[in-house]
Amino acid sequence: MSYTLNTSEQQAEMLAAIGVTSIDELLARQIPAEVLLNRPLYLPPALGEMELEACTRQMASLNRTDRVCLMGGGAYDHFIPAVVDEITSRGEFYTAYTPYQPEASQGSLQAFFEYQSLICRLTGMDVSNASLYEGGTAVSEAMFMAMRCTNRHSRVVVLGSVNPEFRQILRTYTETLATEIIVIPAPDGVVDPARVAQALNDQTACLIIQQPNFLGCLEAVEELTVMAHAVGALSVVSFDPISLGILVRPGDYDVDIAVAEGQSLGTPLQYGGPYLGILACRQEFVRKMPGRLIVQAKDRDDKVCYVLGLQTREQHIRRDKATSNICTNQGLLALRATVYLSSLGPQGLKEAAELSCRNAHYLAEQLQTIPGVELVFDKPFFKEFVVRCRQGSQEFLEAARDAGFNVGPELSRFQDSELPQDGVLVAVTELRTQSEMDALVTGLKSRFTGSDR
């Protein structure tokens, strides 16, 4: 379809209709003058194809790909079976992952149906949607879903141990709403249930928990869920999908809505995205769920087929009835999660979780043999923990980089009063070997003590 720009006359007509004389005047009403650039962009001259490719390759070569990844904070370096890339790169999946024409997308719809089924088995929940954008959006969508389910809109309680970026997204979504976000501090790595109980009341829409939490520690989710239900609020838990290989599933402690960042299920780190948002809930809340739901049906020939059974979006129904403005699902990444979970199976997922947990505890013990390095929290953890270094977090990170390791993030980066600003997150997955972890400890000891013993 050709693109025809608006003529000067048409622009003038539209500007007159809204009561301004120019686009600059229109923008001046919305954008503060102090943030305007007021100069041309510094862009280099246009390049030919060969020159552009050479320039891009040169910039890409600046990326360090030889360091071992021990970074966490929501995205992790887990093993991805080769079959995930092999299947998801097939043309019939790769080019038709958004089912706008259900009758022509039976393969994709079936794949999403299987994804939903696997997420329900993984979480112990009754129903899953066909995915959301990523983990932070999923937490906010769960909050709005809880408001619809409880008909409460004025108060949401969030643990201070929830990912600070997720909490920032919550604040952004509610900035212009009459919704109070109450954050419960977690100075000891986990919240005090008594403080949570004090914050909950009959106006609370939901209690938002992360398990394991952003600091790596395990919260008393079952106890907190009971507290939420006691005041008529919903329990929302953001979980680590790999952790469910060994930890209790959200559905098994009566959580109402379970959400997650699904990157660890077969999606590489790829510089921060795109990732996969997971959302599952109890059956009674299915009609308040955002996004899409794929269901199995029968066609007129009595053959099994798949359809978009629930799509309560603004594009499909009246805006006042819509549950979300989520306009699509992360189909390709949901497919990767489907292939990943199918290839590992329950036993493989359990082994990945156990290896991650054992490796994390081994490294935590070894790091504490370095003078000046200590664990910040003495709490049970899964695969991630916070360390403090006497020499400072910057020195710790630099020493790790010199030893060939990427560690972090440092918690001061978030400028969040709920987090220990002198701490550094360390995440260990099933990919890490004992020799790699020993090499990190040796490098840090050499830097801090002048000895590798």
Range of the domain at 281: 82-341
- If one counts the domains in the chain, the total is 2
Looking at residue 44, its pLDDT comes to 87
| Amino acid letter, residue 302 | D
Q: Which residue has the higher pLDDT, 155 or 24?
A: 155
CB-based contacts of 320: which residues, under 8 Å, 6+ apart? none
Residues 249 and 353 in one domain: no
Residues 319 and 377 in one domain: no
Looking at residue 261, its pLDDT comes to 98
- Residue 341: what are its φ and ψ, rounded to 5°? -65, -35
Average pLDDT, the chain: 92
Evaluate if residue 314 carries a pLDDT over 60: no
Q: Characterize 46-55 residue by residue with b for buried, 16 or more Cβ atoms within 10 angstroms of its Cβ, and e for exposed.
A: eeeeeeeeee
Evaluate if residue 315 carries a pLDDT over 70: no
Q: Which residue has the tokens 């003078």?
A: 371
For residue 446, with 0-12 CB atoms within 10 Å meaning exposed, 13-18 middle and 19 or more buried, which class applies?
middle
Residues 323 and 436 in one domain: no
Residues 233 and 315 in one domain: yes
Residues 414 and 315 in one domain: no
CATH number at residue 328: 3.40.640.10
Residues 113 and 147 in one domain: yes
Residues 257 and 398 in one domain: no
Evaluate if residue 5 carries a pLDDT over 90: no
CB-based contacts of 222: which residues, under 8 Å, 6+ apart? 248, 253, 254
Helices 434-449 and 331-367 pack at an angle, to 10 degrees, of: 50
Q: What is the pTM of this model?
A: 0.88
Query: Among 204-208, 287-291, 413-417, which range has the highest average pLDDT?
Result: 204-208
Residues 101 and 199 in one domain: yes
DSSP letter at 269 equals -
Q: Which of 85-94, 190-199, 337-346 has the lowest mean pLDDT?
A: 85-94
Instruction: Express each pLDDT in 361-418 by its tens digit.
Output: 999 999 999 999 999 999 999 999 999 999 999 999 999 999 999 999 999 999 888 8
Instruction: Express each pLDDT in 6-65 by its tens digit.
Output: 899 999 999 999 999 998 888 888 888 888 888 889 888 999 999 999 999 999 999 888
Mean pLDDT of 282-307: 91
How far apart CA 397 and CA 76 sit, in angstroms, is 18
How far apart CA 67 and CA 37 sit, in angstroms, is 38
Q: Does 315 reside within a domain?
A: yes
Evaluate if residue 106 carries a pLDDT over 90: no
Q: Does 37 reside within a domain?
A: no
CATH number at residue 438: 3.90.1150.10
Looking at residue 28, its pLDDT comes to 85
